[in-house]
Amino acid sequence: MKLELGDQSGRTAIITGANSGLGAQTATALADAGADVVLACRNTDKAAAVANRIGAKARVEKLDLADLQSVRDFADRIDGANLLINNAGVMALPLRRTADGFEMQFGTNHLGHFALTLLMLDKVSDRVVTLSSGMHSLGRLDFDDLNWENRRYRRWRAYGDSKLANLMFAKELARRLEASESSLVSVAAHPGYASTDLQGHTESLMDVVMAVGNSVAAQSAADGAMPTLYAATSPAVRTGGFYGPTKFGGMRGAPGPSSYREVADDEAQRTRLWQASEELVGITSPV
């Protein structure tokens, strides 16, 4: 599948988690279209290998979304960009905690990107693209225990929570930007079912099951990156939208508008998440 990105020369894109999978494919495609790309990654050695393949258009910057000090340091030293693509993520891990004590999936997938976006907001000129997932349908945010401190930990529910939070954040950011008359666009995207390294870290028999699924049912990482690229570059994209594959129940196919759970349109719930996220990361929103 080929997506026409247009000429991206003169533009800069920051892509979190660009050391493998969807992020690496996103960075490669944007660089091929002429953009300069910043690979914002925890594993800088793996990122350097990707940057070397891309060439002079790519550079690596250290960013650990599971450590708010790393997020602040990154935002302090990066001048700016046209695109911020919140791509990095972890999935279905055993219970672990970030450097700041957050449940690892919620802390990395949502809170790390929430903090990064707020800190970078006045440095991004065009679009913020936040990666959610069809698995957001599993999410049921418990505002009394967002970090799984008082409940029996359920890894897939925690992943669904983080992906629902990603979608709600992207939509609430869009609303706030529009209300402040900003031209910055905020959208969400999801890859459908794509074969990446994301699925191989459950440290359980599910790693084997998902490896089989990746080999027989999933689309390639390059195809899985198409919705992200569409969300980042297409003139048809509208702020607050959610974009993903349009065939086979949103699992594969050309990118376009995607269905999602109605709770993502509940402004009261989005505001509650936003306020809780501000308190957890200790950053006040500029919008």
The active-site residue out of 153, 159, 193, 230 is 159
| Whole-angstrom distance, CA of residue 200 vs CA of residue 209 | 10
Sequence-separated (6 or more) residues with CB below 8 Å from residue 117 = 84, 86, 128, 130, 169, 173
Q: Using alpha carbons, select from 255, 210, 261, 263 the residue that is nearest to residue 236.
A: 255
Angstrom distances, CA of residue 74 to CA of 61, 66, 248: 8, 13, 39
On whether the CB atoms of residues 192 and 251 are closer than 8 A, the answer is yes
Give CA torsion, residues 133, 135, 139, 145, to 10 deg: -80
Is 193 among the residues known to form the active site? Answer: no
Strands (DSSP E) found in 25-156: 36-41, 58-62, 81-86, 124-131
Active site residues: 159
